[in-house]
């Protein structure tokens, strides 16, 4: 218990430190750099990646007139503003291209590197200048900039989670006995979930009302708190009530995660794992629990399938919100499976610590899954809740 409390305290300190760092760097990240000019000030310091038109359409080679990307296309006029390179007017001929960075040469290939270094342009190839702002679906992202944006979003959410970490520490430090249930013990157990309510409300009531997914996650947290209160008195016959509350929670979470993409293979894997877990529990079940546990297993596995369906760990389009949703669902499954084994099969050592640690982690990650940077979502169309 002391070790777990110390771990939570370290997590609280880390979140506080990251939040203070993000607050100190927020003004600097939003203020334009002096060397970037008016175009940088107008675009808020973001650097979209404009690749060569030959690479964009899958044609090998390089036109020789593209400045070394990433470059900025200012909204004020049809010209490039490059690093140490004069602006090119529309239709003007390009001077000899300087030596490109080694990482760019590797990306374009040896042939394209020789052409770009020598300044040779293919006849009839026009400079890579977009005629206007492209739609969001066709915007080529600068992977380094998007990574910095994601890191900033994660750090900026840290201070809002401080009450949750404090409430979790209070629960594990007090460690009230389950043999003597009371309203005070129910309050202490539900307090971290109440803090997650405040975490979502801190983004504004309009945020919840405008995004149905966020509303469903918030409603799921409400039913979770009610289920936690019922499970305080599970020995007095309220275990089924808590089971029903958490079943509604999983339905709301699955609805929030959506049905796109479908990911049938992951759903099949989740169904097989759920069947194995139910086969493990079935000899120990009796009476109505045979059907109730089976239905609950189906619901939580369905929720886990929808949480991991959109998870992409490779490539430039992965989102930390999807990683949080998938991790939260897996933690939830581990917590509930530990409850079932401990109640119906055999006592699990340190079961309460395992159940509550994974449960609180699951709820925190699922609550984080609906949070996305408004600037990033507005500029690149990457909002999870949309």
Please indicate whether residue 167 or residue 14 has the higher confidence score (pLDDT).
167
Distance CA 230, CA 164 (A): 21
Distance CA 13, CA 68 (A): 42
In this structure, what token pair is assigned to residue 91? Answer: 């239709």
pLDDT band at 312 (very low <50, low <70, confident <90, very high): confident
Whole-number average pLDDT of the chain: 73
Q: pLDDT digit string (tens) for 242-295?
A: 999 999 999 999 999 999 899 999 999 999 999 999 999 999 999 999 999 999
Give the per-residue pLDDT at 255.
Answer: 96
Please indicate whether residue 358 or residue 40 has the higher confidence score (pLDDT).
358
Mean pLDDT of all residues in 220-247:
96
pLDDT band at 372 (very low <50, low <70, confident <90, very high): low
| pLDDT surpassing 50 at residue 40 | no
Most confident of 13-27, 90-104, 337-351: 337-351
Closest by Cα among 298, 316, 314, 301 to 266: 301
63-81 burial string, b = 16+ CB within 10 Å, else e?
Answer: bbbbbbbbbbbbeeeebbb
Name residue, tokens 């989102």: 319
Neighbours of 159 (CB within 10 A): 16
Q: How far is CA 375 from CA 110, 141, 383, in A?
A: 38, 14, 10
pLDDT band at 16 (very low <50, low <70, confident <90, very high): low
pLDDT band at 227 (very low <50, low <70, confident <90, very high): very high
Q: Mapping DSSP to helix (H, G, I), strand (E, B) and coil, where does residue 81 land?
A: strand
In this structure, what token pair is assigned to residue 270? Answer: 């989740």
Would you say how long the chain is, in residues?
386
The percent of residues above 70 in pLDDT, for the chain, comes to 55
Mean pLDDT of all residues in 346-368:
96
DSSP 91: T
Q: pLDDT digit string (tens) for 118-158?
A: 544 444 444 444 444 444 444 444 444 445 555 555 557 88
99, 104, 108, 110 alpha-carbon torsion, rounded to 10°: 50
Q: pLDDT digit string (tens) for 63-78?
A: 544 444 444 444 444 3
pLDDT band at 24 (very low <50, low <70, confident <90, very high): very low
Most confident of 52-61, 78-87, 334-343: 334-343
| pLDDT surpassing 70 at residue 310 | yes
The percent of residues above 90 in pLDDT, for the chain, comes to 47
Q: pLDDT digit string (tens) for 165-187?
A: 999 999 999 999 988 899 999 99
Name residue, tokens 């009796």: 286
Closest by Cα among 98, 339, 77 to 227: 339
Mean pLDDT of all residues in 96-113:
44
| pLDDT surpassing 70 at residue 335 | yes
| pLDDT surpassing 60 at residue 385 | no
In this structure, what token pair is assigned to residue 252? Answer: 């709301």
- Helix ranges (H only) for the chain are 2-30, 37-42, 53-56, 102-108, 110-118, 143-156, 162-174, 183-201, 205-210, 212-232, 239-257, 264-281, 289-309, 320-340, 351-368, 374-380
pLDDT band at 218 (very low <50, low <70, confident <90, very high): very high
């Amino acid at each position: 218990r002391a070790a777990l409390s110390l771990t939570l305290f370290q997590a609280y300190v880390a979140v506080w430190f990251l939040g203070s760092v993000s607050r100190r760097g927020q003004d600097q990240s939003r203020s334009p750099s002096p060397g970037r000019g008016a175009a940088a000030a107008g675009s808020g310091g973001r650097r979209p990646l404009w690749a060569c038109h030959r690479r964009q359409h899958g044609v090998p080679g390089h036109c020789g007139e593209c400045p070394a990307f990433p470059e900025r296309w200012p909204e004020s006029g049809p010209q490039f503003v490059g690093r140490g390179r004069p602006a090119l007017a529309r239709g003007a001929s390009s001077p000899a291209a300087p030596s490109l960075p080694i990482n760019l040469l590797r990306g374009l290939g040896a042939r394209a590197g020789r052409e770009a270094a020598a300044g040779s342009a293919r006849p009839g190839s026009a400079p890579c200048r977009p005629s206007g702002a492209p739609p969001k679906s066709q915007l080529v992202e600068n992977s380094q900039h998007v990574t910095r944006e994601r890191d900033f979003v994660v750090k900026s959410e840290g201070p809002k989670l401080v009450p949750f970490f404090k409430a979790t520490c209070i629960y594990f430090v007090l460690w009230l006995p389950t043999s003597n249930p009371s309203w005070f013990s129910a309050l202490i157990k539900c307090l971290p979930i109440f803090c997650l309510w405040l975490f979502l409300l801190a983004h504004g009531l309009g945020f919840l009302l405008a995004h149905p997914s966020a509303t469903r996650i918030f409603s799921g947290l409400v039913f979770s708190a009610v289920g936690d209160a019922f499970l305080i008195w599970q020995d007095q016959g309220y275990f089924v009530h808590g089971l029903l509350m958490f079943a509604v929670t999983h339905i709301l979470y699955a609805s929030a995660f959506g049905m796109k993409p479908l990911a049938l293979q992951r759903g099949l894997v989740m169904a097989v794992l759920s069947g194995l877990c139910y086969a493990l529990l079935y000899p120990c079940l009796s009476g109505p629990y045979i059907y109730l546990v089976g239905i609950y297993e189906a619901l939580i596995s369905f929720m886990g399938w929808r949480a991991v369906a959109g998870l992409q760990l490779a490539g430039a389009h992965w989102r930390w919100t999807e990683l949080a949703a998938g991790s939260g669902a897996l933690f939830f499954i581990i917590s509930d499976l530990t409850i079932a084994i401990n109640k119906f099969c055999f006592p699990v050592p340190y079961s309460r610590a395992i159940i509550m640690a994974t449960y609180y982690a699951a709820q925190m990650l699922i609550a984080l899954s609906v949070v996305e940077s408004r600037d990033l979502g507005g500029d690149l169309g990457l909002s999870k809740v949309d």
